[in-house]
Amino acid sequence: MIYDVIILGAGPGGYVAAIKAAQMGGRVALIEKEDIGGVCLNWGCIPTKALLKSARLYEEIKKSDFFGIDGIDKDKIRVNWEQMNTRKDVVVKRLVNGVTNLLKKNGVEVFQGIGKLQDKNTVVVGGQILKGKNLIIATGSRAVMPSIEGIEEAAKAGIAITSKEALGLKDLPAEVVILGGGVIAVEFATLFNALGSKVTLVQRSARILTNVEEELAEGLQRHLIDKGIDIITNSQIKRVQGKSVVLEVMGKEKICYGDKILVSLGRKPNTDGLEVLGLEMDKNGIRTNEKLETNIPGVYAIGDVNGKYQLAHLASAEGITAVENIFGQESKINYEIVPSCIYSFPEIATVGLTEQDARKQGYDVTISKFPLSANGKALAEGESIGFVKIVAEKQYGEILGVHIMAVHATDMISEAIVSMQMEGTVYDVAQAIHPHPTLSEIMMEAAHGAIHKPIHH
């Protein structure tokens, strides 16, 4: 028996590829050593969003008098961390069961265990030898525990943890030190701060979210500081001493304390066991082209393992693209239009070029910004922090990038993605009638601003 496709890893890249391949008439083997859904579904995207919803609701209840709701004794409000985690686990279990049933419904054969490669057409799992015409590597990534003095001992003691362990904490820590200023670090800082923990975030560079549009990142940093998060920038981690982290900041020693030290200093691709294939690698992972092909014919690599972006939605898109190419359809990923989302309070969502990158690439750009404070729905909901920024090419108005800081920014960014996918212009967005009152009107107003002037600002 020969499979059309064998897939290593059942995360958001692997399981989507498996379903797509089965839908296209292929015989598919999907191999997973842990849980269906991978990091995203079990220990990442979904569980963190479930907890962040609880944290958001907790914050809103504390502001009940602002919305004219009396009778809530705020002295009695408390965080039930155990119940929050129970709800999170229920959400995860439901989604995992849903994906498992989809795989079964589509006729995908799932093999539990570690897939050991003998060659590009042969994988051994649980004593069974699987033969396949094509191989998709979707083995994901894992958190890095860097070589810092004392961190190994702190990890063994359960003090230094990664995001995976953070989602399994039995108790809500009173004080947390977060090492790193990327997306995962900022989301956990938001979560723990909202639930009442004292949070210290340690960042090596001058600001958090160094890969995010500068104005957005700096705006969110100021807001997080206003909410009580201690953000230490331009710092160097010297060592970890039990529950303390010793830093060097501006040439001086500084000590931070936390019941838990959350290490969020990057992830590395899971490429162990793939050496037999002779894949070309770069510093980020397995090298692939826009069709997700590796240097070995019939072998594809999708998701975190190819190191392009560590994004679940891109992994899924890459899975579909790889499968379409396997079955003879010419399909490519446009890496210029990949959205990135941060589920902080408020959220951040971006797609395309920043103003700085657009200018570096030689574009004659026009920039338009519109604040949430001038949006009726935002004011009505008490969510007026943030703005949208459109980066457009001046002559024809083609949209090059959109950057949003707002409540529900992660939902609103899709309008920008579709517009850019169709090579749309600010004229198209401005002429599209947006419903009122909605937060989405900020896109229309910013588009008007790119042409001439916004109406309501």
14 has binding-site annotation:
no
- Residue 187, annotated as binding a ligand: yes
Residue type, 215: E
Cross-strand partners of 349: 341, 404
The answer on whether 304 is annotated among ligand-binding residues is yes
User: Is residue 140 a known part of a binding site?
Assistant: yes
Q: Tell whether 352 is in a known binding site.
A: no
C-alpha dihedral (247, 252, 256, 262), degrees to nearest 10: -20
Distant-in-sequence, close-in-space partners of 445: CB < 8 Å, separation ≥ 6:
370, 374, 375, 454, 455, 456, 457
Environment class of 192 (CB within 10 Å of its CB; exposed 0-12, middle 13-18, buried 19+): buried
The residues annotated as belonging to the active site are 436
Residue type, 312: A
59 annotated ligand-binding residue: no
Is 184 part of any known ligand binding site?
yes
- 11 assigned binding-site residue: no
115 is in an annotated binding site: yes
- Known binder of ligand: residue 336? no
Rounded CA separation 112/384 (Å): 48
- Give dist(CA 159, CA 454) in Å, integer: 51
Residue 448: CB atoms within 10 Å:
21
Known binding residue 129? Answer is no
- Residue 386, annotated as binding a ligand: no
Instruction: Report whether 185 belongs to an annotated binding site.
Output: yes
Picking from 131, 134, 148, 48, the residue whose alpha carbon sits closest to that of residue 91 is 48
Q: Which residues are annotated as a binding site for NAD(+)?
A: 180-187, 266
Q: Which residues are annotated as a binding site?
A: 49, 115, 139-141, 180-187, 266, 304
Q: Which residues are annotated as a binding site for FAD?
A: 49, 115, 139-141, 304
